[in-house]
Amino acid sequence: MKLLYSQLKELLNGKLIKYGFSSIDSDIISEIFTESTFDGVFSHGINRFPLFIDFVKKTIVKISEKPSLVNAFGAFEQWNGNLGPGILNALHASNRAVELAMENGIGLVGLQNTNHWMRAGTYGRKVAEKGFMLIGWTNTIPNMPAWGGEISNIGNNPFVFAIPHKNGPIVLDMAMSQFAYGKLEWMTRMGKDLSDFGGYNSKGELTKNPAEILESQRILPTGLWKGSAMAIVLDLAAAILSGGKTSKQIGEKDIETSLSQVFIAINIEKFFSEEARETLINETLEFIQFNNAEVGYPGKRVMKNRMENLKNGIDIPENLIQKINSL
């Protein structure tokens, strides 16, 4: 079924209101789910909405809680998300990091005790649209075996790095698995294979079949030992910088909640004019795509998807629409 941006947003907004969100909060949250979907990231957009509502119903996500300040020293603050909605907490924390960077050149907010932020790229994009760089990450429940292991003992801990750019920000948004679990679920729903090995089947062989990987729960770290190592360091740093929980501690509850996140915003306009920045970025992007327009850079596909989908509306599978209607 083809939906326009406003139609999808209204559908989700109505459900949020039904489950008790204020009109301000439901407006923001429905906007972000819709944006991610229109950016082509279904896995962290509409496909995850039913699970979000499920967490609200179970009060794992506490819809009226607001973030509160825990510690502050110069350009570094720790906030408690108080188990409020992950999107609202992450928006608050990334905005606060920008305020700190305005005053100090750079600002860091560690956010403890929050819920799933949905798509990492959302916060990178919003901060970059204000003219700041963002480096951020979250930990997750243990959902990936460390390199060389067989049991899920580390998170795939999505990482975001965003740089302002006029034609749409440069946004690296990557989980530490070769494919995000949301992607595996989406590809399974679509009945498609992955483009490359994404994990092991239950016999311990590498496979491109997303359903087999979901069954074995043995997802492959991106870059093999490299993604595994980066996941470990991101998790420890998230827990230390936020004063929150590690993946291991989150896993003790068996529900993905009370996550730790980090937001580092950098004030680049102080030393670097927008014009100089644009020249430098355009020159590099042209160089990378020289002779081969198919070569990608972070944020390229998302902007293309957004443009096309805003113009034409977006196809949502019938069963997913039904699922959301029945919430």
From 254, 275, 294, 318, residue interacting with a copy of itself (rule: CB under 8 A): 294
Q: Which two tokens stand for residue 258?
A: 């009370």
Nearer CB in complex with a copy of itself: 151/307: 151
- Taking a C-beta distance cutoff of 8 angstroms, is the pair 295, 288 a contact? yes
Contact positions with a copy of itself (CB under 8 A) in 182-221: 196
From 214, 236, 320, 321, residue interacting with a copy of itself (rule: CB under 8 A): 236
Smallest separation, CB 92 to a copy of itself (Å): 19
Question: Where do we find the tokens 């993946």?
Answer: 247
Nearer CB in complex with a copy of itself: 188/249: 249
Residue 320 near a copy of itself by CB under 8 A: no
Nearer CB in complex with a copy of itself: 19/147: 147
Query: Which of the stretches 3-11, 55-63, 247-255, 303-311 binds a copy of itself when contact is defined by CB under 8 A?
Result: 247-255
Q: Which two tokens stand for residue 290?
A: 């020289």
| Residue partners of 301: CB distance under 8 A and separation at least 6 | 40
Residue 273 near a copy of itself by CB under 8 A: no
Q: Report the C-alpha gap between 231 and 290 in whole angstroms.
A: 33
Residue 78 CB coordination number (10 Å): 19
From 62, 189, 208, 277, residue interacting with a copy of itself (rule: CB under 8 A): 277
Smallest separation, CB 76 to a copy of itself (Å): 3
Nearer CB in complex with a copy of itself: 62/277: 277
Contact positions with a copy of itself (CB under 8 A) in 91-130: 103-108
From 111, 264, 324, 327, residue interacting with a copy of itself (rule: CB under 8 A): 264
From 24, 287, 311, 318, residue interacting with a copy of itself (rule: CB under 8 A): 287
Q: Report the C-alpha gap between 61 and 52 in whole angstroms.
A: 8
Residue 290 near a copy of itself by CB under 8 A: yes
Contact positions with a copy of itself (CB under 8 A) in 4-63: none
- Taking a C-beta distance cutoff of 8 angstroms, is the pair 325, 55 a contact? no
From 59, 73, 191, 275, residue interacting with a copy of itself (rule: CB under 8 A): 73
Contact positions with a copy of itself (CB under 8 A) in 143-172: 146-151, 153-154, 161, 163, 170, 172
Nearer CB in complex with a copy of itself: 11/213: 213
What is the 3-class SS of 99-116, one letter each residue? HHHHHHCEEEEEEEEECC
Residue 76 near a copy of itself by CB under 8 A: yes
| Residues with a known catalytic role | 44
From 17, 237, 320, 321, residue interacting with a copy of itself (rule: CB under 8 A): 237
Nearer CB in complex with a copy of itself: 11/135: 135
From 36, 78, 94, 257, residue interacting with a copy of itself (rule: CB under 8 A): 78
Smallest separation, CB 63 to a copy of itself (Å): 28
Smallest separation, CB 260 to a copy of itself (Å): 11
